[in-house]
Amino acid sequence: MRRVDPLHVTLDELWDGPPGEGRFDTRSVAHLPRAAQRYLTHAIAAGAPLARAVRLRMHGDIKLRGWMPFEAEQVIRWDRGTIWKARTRIGGLSVSGSDRLVDGEGAQLWKAFGVVPVMRAKGPDITRSVAGRVEAESMWLPSVLLDVPWREDDEAHAHTTLRVAGDESELRLAVDATGRLQSVSVARWGSIDGGVFERLPFGCQVEEERTFGAYTIPSRVRVGWHFGSDRFETEGEFFRGTIDEAEHR
């Protein structure tokens, strides 16, 4: 089969797939470590359709040359990948583009005024990096975390191994006594400020959550590199986002 260029796939095309099958039975997680049980039964309502995709609308601030406001739409379809399509302004210029991973291939393309390319990237490093992003963003599609091998560090922390587009990483969750998600972290393949690609601590601090239909997901987050260290606050954080709409199917 001929491989489709990920830059030619639209949000609607990625979203337009079959819905998930089955419904959430809370008894199905009774064997899991306690932190994972609390998280999953908090995030997914009993009897909820088991979604395999989520479509999000969001806004916030992203750190480029200073903090810039952005608006974005995203689709995550677990069996195919993700497209995050956003628009912002840099130095008075309107810039729009996307980060994406579709059918095992990652790509980034950003244009000024929607016409002039200002950044374009593909290749194995980009694919691995966006795969790490998808692993972390499983927090917005918690139904895909029902059938993975959870392990528990303690009452408040659980971790599992996720594999996306050939990249494998440990997803670590911190949850409170009610199962509310407090943070998500992975060792993500990436490059900071044009440096070499390597595995780096990457994660998300959850500041608010919201229920959309049958799913309760993080709705206000702070994201960045060097997660879990002082460097996250001083230099690693680059994304502050608020989820405005979410649809699961």
User: What average pLDDT score do residues 168-189 get?
Assistant: 97
φ and ψ of 107, to 5 deg: -160, 155
Where are the alpha helices (H) located in the chain, listed in sequence order? Answer: 11-15, 34-43, 124-136, 230-231
Confidence class of residue 197 from pLDDT cuts 50, 70 and 90?
A: very high
Q: What pLDDT is attached to residue 29? A: 97
pLDDT in tens, 21-40: 999 999 999 999 999 999 99
Q: What pLDDT is attached to residue 210? A: 98
The CATH number of the structural domain formed by 6-248 is 2.50.20
Widest pairwise Cα distance in the chain: 54
Position with higher pLDDT, 46 vs 192? 46
Query: How does the average pLDDT of the chain come out, rounded?
Result: 94
User: What average pLDDT score do residues 3-25 get?
Assistant: 91
Is 75 a residue whose pLDDT tops 70? yes
Q: What pLDDT is attached to residue 89? A: 87
User: What average pLDDT score do residues 195-200 get?
Assistant: 94
User: What average pLDDT score do residues 195-208 get?
Assistant: 96
Is 3 a residue whose pLDDT tops 80? no
- HSE, side-chain direction, 13 A CA sphere, residue 129: 19
Which residue type is seen at 100? R
User: Residue ranges of the domains in the chain?
Assistant: 6-248
Distance CA(211)–CA(175), nearest Å, equals 17
237 SS3 class:
strand
Is 1 a residue whose pLDDT tops 60? no
Confidence class of residue 91 from pLDDT cuts 50, 70 and 90?
A: confident
The residue among 239, 230, 162, 231 whose CA lies nearest residue 207 is 239
Burial grade of 11 (CB within 10 A; 0-12, 13-18, 19 or more): middle
Q: What pLDDT is attached to residue 193? A: 82
List, as one string, the DSSP characters of 112-142.
Answer: ETTTEEEEEEESHHHHHHHHHHHHHGGGG-G
Given a contact cutoff of 8 angstroms between Cβ atoms, the answer to whether 241 and 58 are in contact is yes
